[in-house]
Structure 1
Amino acid sequence: MSRMLCAIAPELEGVPGGPALNPAAYRTATWIVRQQDAGLRRIQPYLDEVRTNLLRYRPAPNAP
């Protein structure tokens, strides 16, 4: 999955939401993410969960 997300990253440059939307492209398609298509609303609960987990697993400030 990480290889695929890295491969599609260039297609999502400049898209509002930044790298946090890469999983959306994994679940749908890059063109849906680029156009901010209504398909994103369908997977919004998934995107919310990904954003929550990104924050949860971010390194703590001043971590060794």
Structure 2
Amino acid sequence: MQELRDKFDQLVKKEGDQLAIEHHQEETVTRIANLINKGTVWEKVWSHPLVLDACQHIFKGEFKVSS
């Protein structure tokens, strides 16, 4: 988990004012866009079996992970 937190903090610092500008902005929320393209550290999140099972249930069948 610490590795995810550290990478998140690095991305926030690196992207600065350009952080997720293509998405809706809220004062109390820090968003990072396209995590799928921001390092392999995030693979352990979306490839976790429970996450994949939940997605399959929600989408009622096959789905594709993409940015």
Structure with greater helix share of residues: 1
Instruction: Please say whether Structure 1 and Structure 2 have the same fold, judged by a TM-score greater than 0.5.
Output: no
Which structure would you say has the larger Rg?
2
TM-score normalised according to structure 2 size? 0.31
